Structure formats: C-alpha cells, structure tokens
Amino acid sequence: NEATVVFLSRSANEGFARTAAACFAAQLDPTLDEVNDIKTAVSEAVTNAIVHAYPNTLGKITMRMRLLEDLQLEIQIKDSGVGIPDVEQAMQEGFSTAGQTARELGFGAGMGLPNIKKYTDKMQIDTQIGRGTTMYLSVHVNQ
C-alpha cells in the first residue's frame, strides 16, 4: 500500500504530517513506541523543510509513504527549497542554520537530523542547492 500527501510549508502542517504517517503505519500494527518513533522522525523532517528549506516563503512539501511486505515503512519527504549546503555538518548535534526568529519560536536547536537518524532504521538525504532536498526514511515495525 502507498499514499502521497502534498501540503504547504506552514508550521500547522507538521502535526498533520506526523498524524498522517502514524495513521498510515497503523496498518502494520506497530507498538506505541514504534508509532512515537515514526511520528518524531516525520515531525523533525517536516519541521526541517518548513524552517530551513523555505525561509521567509511558503513552498510545497510532498510526503510519500509505502508499506513493504517485510513490515517496513518507507517515508519520503521532499521539498523544492534551498537545499542543504553541507549534509555532514547538518548531521552534527547542535548545528543549525535557523535564523534568530526561528530560534525564538523554538525551532533550530540543531537536533533535527540527528533525531531522525536516531528514530529510523535507515536515513538517506539527497540534496541540491537551490533545487531542494529529499529525505528517505525507513522503519521496520514489530521487531
């Protein structure tokens, strides 16, 4: 089974994406901890797209979800924003490119990408400056 949702990079849509992913994953009968891990990973990935990919503007975020036969959930989160200049640096805890306004709103603590990696079994980032970023997340449930 698979599903795709497209939404604007508004902060209110982070909760929508998190809930949509959890509902979709429910087909695999995950544990509560697994659902929370999925929600956290999606929340971090979508928040990164909202805050970093589209600073000072709105853009589209596409989230594709796919269930595989081996109780694996694949999630792809794609934006067409500014891209990540240095993925290795962005993976470092505490590193953030968020501006002062985003930090004042509680975003940009530099834990997004490290948390996504922590709560997924596999994470891959494809990015191009000025063209956007696609994150590929994979989670096995009932392990």
What CA–CA distances, in Å, run from 10 to 50, 120, 122? 6, 24, 26
48 is an active site residue: yes
Tokens of 141: 């449930």
Catalytic: which of 64, 74, 103, 115?
Answer: 103
What CA–CA distances, in Å, run from 12 to 19, 43, 88? 12, 11, 29
64 is an active site residue: no
Catalytic: which of 1, 44, 88, 104?
Answer: 44
56 is an active site residue: no
Catalytic: which of 48, 56, 69, 104?
Answer: 48
Tokens of 83: 């891209």
Active site residues: 44, 48, 103
